[in-house]
Amino acid sequence: MEKIELVKKYVEELVNAPINLVGYRDFNEAFHYLYMDSVLAVKPEDLGNTFLDVGTGGGVPGVFLSIEFGVHGFLIDSVCKKIDYVKNLCEKLGLINVELMCVRAEELKDKGNFRESFDSAVSRAVSKIATVLELTAPYVKVGGKLLLYKGPGYNEELGQAVNAMKELGVKLSEVRKYSILGKDRFLIIFEKTSPTPEKYPRKVGIPEKRPIR
Q: Which residues are annotated as a binding site for S-adenosyl-L-methionine?
A: 55, 105-106, 124
Specify which residues 176 forms β-bridges with: 187
- Measured in Å, how far apart are the chain's first and last C-alpha atoms? 48
Contacts 24+ apart (CB under 8 A), 203-207: 203/106, 204/104, 204/106, 204/107, 205/106, 206/106, 207/106, 207/127, 207/130, 207/131, 207/134, 207/135
Pair 149, 124: CB distance under 8 Å: yes
Binding positions are 55, 105-106, 124
Rounded Cα distance, 23 and 13, in Å: 13
H helical segments located in 117-177: 129-136, 154-160, 162-168
H helical segments located in the chain: 3-15, 27-30, 37-39, 44-47, 62-69, 80-93, 129-136, 154-160, 162-168, 206-209
